[in-house]
């Protein structure tokens, strides 16, 4: 049996980072067409923070330290995703891939990424722990299943040596350290890397880096969003005098019934 | 046909959120004219598994293997696949937590089943299979229609009150053949904070922001949390300044929680923070700035200095509990 090193020729270690554009965190969410569509009017799109701050930056660090050779960025989306992809390329990365279809259903997105990944063969797939728009947090584990790879979620630290990943990750009420041979899919969160700001050289270089547009594979969506709703507005705050905490406790018990 | 639900336990004791998931599955089973089969993985006590019947499970499928006492998404997925096949499951329920988020996507991908991640409602069967879920990190809800034959749902913990009923589930062993590959992720080290309430499961949460002025002042929040039996949380600047650990950070880029009571102390209430906590049933805001936007999202507000008010509140809780 070949060793892990031989099986995954470390001299050519390729990383794929899954990225997506999301509305800026300060966006006031509004809907159009009788609450059936998210209104993008006046919305600034940014790179999903978990993908940018942790996934991309850690991939770049692994390349800079000589562990990885290639860093590719992939997104599933239409042409309007390209400005955000260019911003991602300004941070670093050798090339970006845009799979040219709408990204409405998690399975569809994961299956598109998996189909593309099969054509290249990646040793490591990184993604953010979730996107801050649809909060599914499911693409990474789905890609892992579709590529028959192992998966480690909620990583806070990733080290790779000799084709083996050592990953610290969040678990309920604590953390654990896992060890697993590549290939592997990891979802990233705070701790994995420190956010970077692209420099002028990166921004200039990003303009000419390859951004491949790939036609989508024939995969059906398994779900769709039929309507949206905003949370009900609070009826108004009841102010309690700072001296009267007994009153607050009384109200929490008798009115709110939470203690 | 059945509704399958993955139940989580700690040392054989089923977690409250898993009882909620069983009850949730039972309501779906009732609406679809089927029964609930719970799937328990790893060593668990027979009586505890039978007791899942009190929350609506008809049957419990139990798989044990020495290697299963540590969580492993691939191995758990294999168990769930075997159970789904055996039961002809059309709906599969898990929790929207670290376990559910690792297992259900794998399962959904394998079964080519549509997934609703983070559900906060029962499926509306009058319009297909429409489930409400959190989107934009709590700033809104979306109604997702699942069109595949098999449907997978992860339930947001603490969405429905858990009501204990009558009944006992039958327990059956489920034999699953594993592949060595299923265990290739090895756990090298585990560290758990003992005794504290996990934030995602907490019904009561005490949270501090930049207005606390520094980590040295956290003792007043810790005392209040202890008196209430609450978990501690914090805002992003607090975690970024390393005043508190990152796992306590709630908000759009931290955790999303929906406790019964959220007490926000010295947190101004930026839109990103509100996103993570506005699912809380009752919000109390303590702040010295009358213009703090958080007051607009609060049920109860107290204006003044946290270092004076919080100890007073702790005393009031102590007095209330003494009665």
CATH of domain A4-231: 3.40.50.620
Q: Do B105 and A150 touch (CB under 8 A)?
A: no
User: Band of the pLDDT at A1, cuts 50, 70, 90?
Assistant: very low
Sheet of B130-135: strands edge to edge?
A: A223-229, B140-146, B130-135, B114-119, B151-155, B89-95, B2-7, B35-41, B57-63, B170-173
Q: CA of A251: which chain B residue's CA is closest?
A: B300
pLDDT digits 0-9 by tens, B232-264: 999 999 999 999 988 899 998 888 888 999 999
Q: CA of A246: which chain B residue's CA is closest?
A: B316
Long-range contacts of B211-217 (CB under 8 A, 24+ apart): B211/B265, B211/B266, B211/B267, B211/B268, B211/B287, B211/B288, B211/B289, B211/B306, B212/B238, B212/B243, B212/B265, B212/B266, B212/B306, B213/B266, B214/B243, B215/B243, B215/B244, B217/B306, B217/B307
Does pLDDT of A131 surpass 80? yes
Distance (Å) from the alpha carbon of B272 to chain A's nearest alpha carbon: 6
Q: Do A256 and B282 touch (CB under 8 A)?
A: yes
pLDDT of residue A2: 47
Task: Tell me which chain B residues have a C-beta less than 8 angstroms from the C-beta of A172.
Answer: 97-99, 198, 200-201
Asked if residues B239 and B210 have their Cβ atoms less than 8 Å apart, the reply is: no
Residue in the structure block whose two tokens are 């996507």: B105
Q: What is the CA radius of gyration of chain A?
A: 22
Return the number of other C-beta atoms located less than 10 Å from residue B270's C-beta. 18
**pTM (predicted TM-score):** 0.91
d(C-alpha B180, C-alpha B54), whole Å: 36
User: Band of the pLDDT at A11, cuts 50, 70, 90?
Assistant: low
pLDDT of residue B196: 65
At what angle are helices A245-254 and B306-322 packed, to 10 degrees? 50
Q: Do A222 and B114 touch (CB under 8 A)?
A: yes
Q: Do B118 and A135 touch (CB under 8 A)?
A: yes
The DSSP annotation for B173-199 comes to E------GGGG-SEEEEEEE-SSPPPG
Identify the DSSP state of B116. Answer: E
B229 sits in the region (left: phi over 0; alpha: psi -120 to 50; else beta) called: left
d(C-alpha B14, C-alpha B26), whole Å: 16
Predicted-complex ipTM score: 0.91
Interface residue of A20, A37, A136 to substitute, partner B, most B CBs within 10 Å: A136
Q: Is B17 in CB contact (< 8 Å) with chain A?
A: no
Task: Tell me which chain A residues have a C-beta less than 8 angstroms from the C-beta of B107.
Answer: 145
pLDDT of residue B195: 58
Q: CA of B161: which chain A residue's CA is closest?
A: A258
Q: CA of B77: which chain A residue's CA is closest?
A: A145
Q: Please name every residue paired with A166 in a beta bridge, in sequence order, or none if there are none.
A: A159, A179
Does pLDDT of A4 surpass 70? no
Asked if residues B285 and B301 have their Cβ atoms less than 8 Å apart, the reply is: yes
User: Band of the pLDDT at B323, cuts 50, 70, 90?
Assistant: confident
% of chain A beyond a pLDDT of 70 = 96
Q: Which residues fall within 8 angstroms of residue A189, CB to CB, at 6 or more apart?
A: A50, A54, A128, A129, A154, A155, A156, A170
Residue A232: both structure tokens together: 């009900």
Spell out the domain ranges in chain A.
4-231
Does pLDDT of B188 surpass 90? yes
Q: Which of B10-14, B230-234, B282-286, B313-317 has the lowest mean pLDDT?
A: B10-14
Segment 232-291 of chain B within 8 Å of chain A by CB: 239, 246-247, 249, 252-254, 256, 260-261, 271-272, 278-279, 281-285
Note the helical H segments in B8-62. 16-32, 46-50
Q: Is B125 in CB contact (< 8 Å) with chain A?
A: no
Q: CA of B311: which chain A residue's CA is closest?
A: A245
% of chain B beyond a pLDDT of 90 = 88
In three-state secondary structure terms, B12 is coil
Name the average pLDDT for chain B: 94
Q: Is B13 in CB contact (< 8 Å) with chain A?
A: no
pLDDT of residue B194: 60
d(C-alpha A26, C-alpha A44), whole Å: 9
Angle at the Cα of B311 from the Cα atoms of B310 and B312, rounded to 5 degrees: 90
Q: CA of A169: which chain B residue's CA is closest?
A: B190
Q: Which residues fall within 8 angstroms of residue A225, CB to CB, at 6 or more apart?
A: A104, B142, B143, B144, B145
pLDDT of residue A100: 98
In three-state secondary structure terms, A70 is strand
Counts for chain B of helices (H) and strands (E), in that order: 8, 17
Does pLDDT of B314 surpass 60? yes
d(C-alpha B303, C-alpha B293), whole Å: 13
d(C-alpha B212, C-alpha B205), whole Å: 16
Q: Which of B107, B191, B279 sits opposite A174 (nearest CB)?
A: B191
pLDDT digits 0-9 by tens, A151-183: 999 999 999 999 999 999 998 878 999 999 999
* Nearest partner of A135 among B165, B240, B294, B275, judged by Cα: B275
Distance (Å) from the alpha carbon of B191 to chain A's nearest alpha carbon: 5
Sheet of B300-303: strands edge to edge?
A: A238-240, B300-303, B282-287, B261-265, B204-208, B231-234
User: Band of the pLDDT at A3, cuts 50, 70, 90?
Assistant: very low
CATH of domain B199-322: 3.40.50.1220
Task: Tell me which chain B residues have a C-beta less than 8 angstroms from the C-beta of A23.
Answer: 136
Spell out the domain ranges in chain B.
2-183, 199-322
Residue A117: both structure tokens together: 């990944």
pLDDT of residue A8: 53
- Residue A129 CA from chain centroid, whole number: 6
Task: Tell me which chain A residues have a C-beta less than 8 angstroms from the C-beta of B191.
Answer: 174-176
Does pLDDT of B12 surpass 90? no
pLDDT digits 0-9 by tens, A206-254: 999 999 999 999 999 999 999 999 988 888 899 999 999 999 999 999 9
Distance (Å) from the alpha carbon of B245 to chain A's nearest alpha carbon: 11
pLDDT digits 0-9 by tens, B47-91: 999 999 999 999 999 999 999 988 999 999 999 999 999 999 999
pLDDT digits 0-9 by tens, A43-95: 999 999 999 999 999 999 999 999 999 999 999 999 999 999 999 999 999 99
Q: Do B145 and A152 touch (CB under 8 A)?
A: no
Q: Do A248 and B71 touch (CB under 8 A)?
A: no
Read off φ and ψ for residue B222, nearest 5 degrees.
-60, -40
CA atoms within 13 A on the CB side of A133: 25
Question: What's domain B2-183's superfamily in CATH?
Answer: HUPs (3.40.50.620)
* Nearest partner of A169 among B108, B73, B118, B275, judged by Cα: B73
d(C-alpha A114, C-alpha A100), whole Å: 14
Name the average pLDDT for chain A: 93
SS3 content of chain A, % helix, strand, coil (to 5): 30, 30, 40
């Amino acid at each position: 049996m070949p060793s892990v090193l031989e099986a995954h020729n470390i001299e050519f270690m390729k990383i794929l980072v899954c990225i997506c554009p999301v509305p800026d965190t300060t966006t006031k969410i509004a809907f159009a067409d009788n609450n059936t569509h998210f209104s993008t009017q006046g919305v600034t799109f940014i790179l999903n923070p978990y993908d940018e701050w942790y996934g991309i930056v850690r991939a770049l660090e692994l390349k800079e330290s000589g562990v990885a050779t290639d860093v590719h960025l992939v997104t599933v989306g239409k042409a309007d995703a390209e400005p955000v992809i260019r911003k991602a390329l300004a941070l670093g990365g050798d090339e970006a891939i845009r799979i040219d279809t709408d990204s409405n259903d998690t399975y569809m997105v994961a299956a598109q990424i998996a189909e593309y990944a099969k054509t290249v063969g990646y040793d490591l797939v990184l993604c953010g722990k979730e996107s801050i728009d649809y909060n599914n947090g499911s693409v990474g584990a789905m890609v892992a299943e579709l590529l028959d790879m192992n998966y480690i979620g909620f990583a806070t630290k990733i080290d790779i040596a000799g084709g083996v990943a050592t990953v610290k990750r969040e678990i309920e009420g604590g953390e654990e350290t896992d060890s697993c041979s590549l290939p592997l899919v990891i979802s990233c969160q705070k701790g994995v890397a420190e956010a970077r700001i692209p420099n002028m050289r990166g921004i200039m270089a990003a303009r000419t880096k390859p951004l491949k547009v790939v036609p989508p594979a024939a995969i059906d969506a398994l779900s769709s969003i039929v309507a949206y709703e905003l949370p009900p507005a609070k009826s108004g705050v009841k102010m309690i005098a700072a001296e009267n905490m007994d009153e607050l406790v009384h109200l929490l018990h008798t009115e709110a019934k939470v203690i | 046909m059945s509704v399958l639900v993955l139940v989580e336990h700690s040392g054989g004791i089923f977690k409250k959120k898993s009882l909620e998931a069983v009850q949730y599955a039972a309501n779906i089973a009732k609406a679809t004219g089927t029964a609930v089969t719970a799937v328990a993985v790893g060593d668990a006590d027979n009586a505890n598994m039978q007791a899942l019947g009190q929350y609506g499970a008809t049957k419990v499928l139990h798989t044990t293997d020495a290697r299963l006492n540590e969580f492993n998404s691939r191995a758990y997925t294999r168990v769930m696949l075997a159970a789904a096949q055996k039961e002809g499951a059309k709906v599969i329920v898990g929790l929207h937590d670290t376990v559910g988020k690792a297992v259900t996507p794998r399962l959904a991908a394998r079964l080519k089943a549509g997934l609703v991640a983070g559900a906060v409602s029962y499926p509306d069967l009058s319009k297909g299979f429409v489930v409400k879920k959190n989107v934009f990190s709590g700033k809104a809800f979306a109604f997702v229609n699942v069109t595949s034959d098999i449907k997978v749902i992860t339930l947001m913990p603490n969405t429905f009150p858990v009501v204990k009923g009558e009944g006992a589930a039958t327990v059956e062993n489920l034999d699953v053949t594993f592949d060595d590959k299923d265990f290739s992720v090895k756990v090298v080290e585990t560290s758990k904070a003992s005794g504290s309430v996990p934030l995602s499961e907490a019904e009561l949460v005490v949270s501090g922001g930049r207005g606390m002025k520094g980590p040295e002042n956290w003792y007043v929040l810790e005392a209040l949390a202890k008196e209430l039996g609450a978990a501690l949380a914090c805002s992003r600047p607090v975690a970024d300044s390393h005043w508190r650990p990152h796992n306590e950070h709630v908000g759009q880029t931290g955790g999303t929680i929906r406790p019964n009571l959220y007490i926000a102390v010295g947190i101004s209430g930026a839109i990103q923070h509100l996103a993570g906590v506005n699912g809380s049933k009752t919000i109390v805001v303590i702040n010295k700035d009358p213009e703090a936007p958080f007051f607009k999202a609060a049920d109860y507000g107290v204006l003044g200095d946290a270092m004076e008010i919080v100890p007073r509140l702790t005393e009031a809780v102590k007095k209330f509990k003494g009665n």
